Amino acid sequence: MASLTANTVRIWYRVHKWTSLVCTAFLLMACITGLPLIFGDELRDLLEPHVAPVSVPPGTPTASIDKMVAVAQAKFPTLHPFNVYWDDDEPRLFVNMSPSAKPKDGEIKSAVFDVHTGHFLEAPADRFSFVSFCLRLHMELFMGLPGELFMGVMALSFVVSLASGALVYGPFMRRLRFGTYRSEAAPRTRWFDLHNLLGIVTLTWALVVGATGIMNAISTPLFGIWRAQTMPQILAPYRGKAMPSHFESVDAAIKDVASALPHNEISSVLFPNAVFGSPRHYVVWTRGKTPVTSRLLTPALVDVENGALTVTNGLPWYLRALEVSRPLHFGDYGGLPLKVLWAFFDLALIVVLVSGVYLWLIRRRAPVEKELNHLVQLEEAQTGAFAR
Amino acid sequence: MSLSLPFRQIYGPAIVIGLITLYGLLSALLGDGIWDVLSWIALAIPLVVIAWKCSRDNGTSAGA
């Protein structure tokens, strides 16, 4: 049984107050922008229509990726192939072209192809995307990596606020039945009840979304660490050799990887890139085919000159944990009903945040500290100690 | 005034709802089909509890 002394409760109450105040504004923004992001796929389909690929019977062979890349190259002669990836929902291949290894915002141009026919479908225009706008505000405040890390700190503050909130929930609820809601009472009492009820009922969901938010925020540096540990070994044999002058076929590279990793499917190919991959290899990202393993990525490297294949040992545990837990932040892994439930949890969290701010704003008229002290004193008078 | 509630009565329902939520979150993550449906049911429970508790005044407004 929890043994909280009166002083401990006061300390946790202060932790709850301050960590909440630190993150509330940003969290409110994250909740509001997160709401449309839950339905990001649906909104993109609605707001950003695209040319559909032809429907084909199952088992139809796919077209050459080399040819699609060549078409994209002809469309964007000043750019270089950056990566190709397959759309999750439709048989479409995106060929991304970039002026450099580390493209800035808006520098990447995409050409979209039909995976089966190999026909060019469209080059999406650079126009305002509501979903992308929400996403960038949500994850990085339009500030790139520093913004991402800042939002990570806000998420950390949120998780501490949740944990301390759960601890002070007990003392505040000592005289109230679970789920007490006094709708006829004064506004302060009503908001206090709402804050406690919604807070405690959505606690687990909020903790999971907060914790996975932290993990997403630090994913860029984590991948950087892995690359810094892995690449030097892979590139060591090439030391002193001239940079590759011609690129072998991407189709051949994919075929080799597919036969080396028969249980995986290929999700994307990164062209030689000294910043995000290897300057001498295609990095072929693969993933499993079951619900769980589809989140586990295994990269394979293919030498662009001689086609030699290097399969890594998969990602280290911290990146596996990141990849598996990532959907828990988005709620997009269990169909539309899960997304709708996710939206309701999000709305409940907004109420918790707003009621928390309200309780803090009216603190001069009805100080929560005073009430807490009163509860603690009552308890001490009754039992000799606050809780045992 | 009644004696204060024991730990079990304060945190018991919260812990049960927490475990149901956790099950709901993981069920859809680790499986498809029926596991998705079980996840929807599990995650609807906390929301139903909120709706049920907020649907009427259930406390003695004289207290606190």
The tokens describing A89, both together, are: 């929902």
Confidence of residue A105 (pLDDT cuts 50, 70, 90): confident
Say yes or no to pLDDT of A30 above 70: yes
Predicted local confidence at residue A72, as pLDDT = 96
B32: nearest CA in chain A?
Answer: A291
Residues sharing a CB contact under 8 Å with residue A359, sequence separation 6 or more, in sequence order: A188, A191, A192, A195, A368
Contact B9, A175 (CB under 8 A): no
Of A206, A96, A89, the closest CA to residue A158 belongs to: A206
Which range of A60-64, A345-349, B3-7 scores highest in mean pLDDT? It is A345-349
Give backbone dihedrals phi and psi of A298, rounded to 5 degrees, phi first. Answer: -125, 115
Say yes or no to pLDDT of A372 above 70: yes
Q: How far apart are CA A183 and CA B56, in angstroms?
A: 7
The answer to whether the CB atoms of B54 and A205 lie below 8 A apart is no
Q: How far apart are CA A27 and CA A20, in angstroms?
A: 9
The proportion of chain B whose per-residue pLDDT surpasses 90, expressed as a percent, equals 62
Q: How far apart are CA A175 and CA A110, in angstroms?
A: 61
What is the separation, in whole angstroms, between the first and last Cα of chain B? 11
The tokens describing A110, both together, are: 């995409």
Q: Give the mean model confidence (pLDDT) for residues A62-70.
A: 96
The proportion of chain A whose per-residue pLDDT surpasses 90, expressed as a percent, equals 63
pLDDT tens for each residue of A323-342: 888 899 999 999 999 999 99
Of A169, A200, A157, the closest CA to residue A4 belongs to: A169
The tokens describing A182, both together, are: 């006094």
Predicted local confidence at residue A388, as pLDDT = 40
pLDDT tens for each residue of A353-371: 999 999 999 876 666 777 7
State the smallest CA–CA distance between residue A238 and chain B in angstroms.
41
A368: nearest CA in chain B?
Answer: B64
Contact A198, A348 (CB under 8 A): yes
Say yes or no to pLDDT of A13 above 50: yes
Say yes or no to pLDDT of A384 above 60: no
* ipTM, interface predicted TM-score of the complex: 0.90
Q: How far apart are CA A282 and CA A219, in angstroms?
A: 22
Predicted local confidence at residue A36, as pLDDT = 97
Which range of A1-5, A267-271, B3-7 scores highest in mean pLDDT? It is A267-271
On average, the pLDDT of chain A sits at: 90
Q: Which is it for the CA torsion A362, A363, A367, A372, positive or negative?
A: positive
For A151, half-sphere exposure in the C-beta direction (CA atoms, 13 angstrom radius) is 27
State the smallest CA–CA distance between residue A377 and chain B in angstroms.
13
The tokens describing B40, both together, are: 């929807």
b (16+ CB within 10 A) / e for A298-329:
bbbbbbbbeeebebeeebeeebeebbbbebbb
The answer to whether the CB atoms of B47 and A344 lie below 8 A apart is yes
